């Protein structure tokens, strides 16, 4: 006797997510950050940092990474996203795509939203600085806000890369935000910088991931199974963040 397999039967088998643990309905999509049902696909990192083709003439929105997210944990259109976009794009060692993003999308957002502008250039927040013959504008970074968003990105990338959630702690080390200081950072900070540089070296030997590397790519170093993972996240070719995921076991659900 021969059986003909109907596509309707095969389809759920092919499409089901393999990484939701036993006892969980495979049809039900769960948020990458919590146990709530997902209501949307969230872009990791946020879509806004990828320049629009009309602004740069290049399609930088190919195969963007998305993860399932609940209403509480999706990053869509929040001021946090736009803040992140500015902090990343303004960095002085970025590529031309970042410059174009600054002079198009971010400029438009400044003109539209004074509150957004003030996050960077509000009263007495910025300073002029001369550095090795270059004139730079510096502005303080809200490191709590920055780390909060970057942790979400690291969790999203972990989910995307390993098909499982990271439920443990994440330490964010924004290499690019400390690199500007010339003076000796002191006995407490110096070892931290050295360890971070070692983490960077470890990741640098790994393959690049990401369909639009001019805007974002990541590298991952991990043990197996991945209970300790180090990520190097690179934005606009110049802004680097190391994420250290360790200390707590990761979850399967
Ligand atoms: Zn959630």
Which tens digits make up the pLDDT trace of 79-95? Answer: 888 899 999 998 888 99
Structure token digits, residue 31? 């948020």
How much is the pLDDT for 253? 40
The pLDDT of residue 41: 92
**Ligand 1 centre from 164 Cα, in Å?**
14
Cα–Cα distances in angstroms (integers) from residue 192 to residues 139, 221, 242, in the given order = 23, 18, 12
Residue 19 CB neighbour total at 10 angstroms: 15
Residues with CB under 5 Å of ion ligand 1 are: 31, 33-34, 36, 70, 73
Question: Could you give the dihedral angle defined by the CA atoms of residues 75, 114, 98 and 64, in that order, rounded to the nearest 10 degrees?
Answer: 20
pLDDT at 4: 36
pLDDT of residue 247: 66
**Predicted model pTM:** 0.82
- In angstroms, what is the span from residue 118 Cα to ligand 1's centroid? 30
pLDDT of residue 154: 97
Find the 39 Cα to ligand 1 centroid distance in Å: 9
What pLDDT sits at residue 161? 95
Low pLDDT (below 50) residues in the chain: 1-25, 248-253
Residue 213 Cα to ligand 1 middle (Å) = 28
Long-range Cβ contact pairs of 222-229 (< 8 A, separation 24 or more): 226/158, 226/162, 226/250, 229/158, 229/162, 229/166
């Amino acid at each position: 006797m021969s059986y003909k397999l109907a596509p309707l039967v095969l389809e759920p088998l092919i499409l089901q997510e393999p990484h939701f643990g036993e006892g969980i309905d495979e049809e039900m999509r769960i948020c990458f950050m919590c146990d709530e049902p997902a209501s949307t696909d969230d872009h990791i990192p946020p879509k806004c940092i990828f320049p629009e083709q009309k602004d740069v003439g290049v399609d930088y929105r190919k195969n963007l990474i998305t993860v399932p997210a609940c209403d509480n944990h999706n990053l869509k259109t929040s001021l946090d996203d736009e803040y992140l976009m500015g902090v990343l794009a303004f960095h002085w060692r970025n590529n031309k795509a970042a410059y174009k993003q600054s002079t198009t999308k971010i400029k438009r957002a400044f003109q539209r939203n004074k509150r957004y502008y003030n996050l960077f250039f509000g009263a007495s927040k910025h300073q002029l600085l001369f550095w090795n013959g270059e004139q730079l504008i510096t502005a303080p970074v809200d490191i709590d806000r920055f780390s909060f968003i970057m942790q979400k990105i690291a969790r999203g990338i972990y989910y995307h890369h390993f098909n499982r959630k990271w439920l443990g702690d994440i330490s964010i080390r924004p290499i690019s935000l400390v690199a500007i200081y010339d003076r000796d950072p002191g006995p407490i900070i110096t070892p931290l910088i050295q360890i971070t540089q070692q983490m960077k070296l470890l990741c640098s030997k790994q393959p690049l991931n990401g369909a639009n590397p001019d805007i974002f790519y990541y590298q991952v170093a991990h043990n197996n199974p991945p209970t300790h993972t180090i990520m190097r996240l690179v934005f606009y070719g110049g802004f680097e963040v190391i994420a250290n995921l360790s200390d707590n076991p990761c979850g399967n659900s």
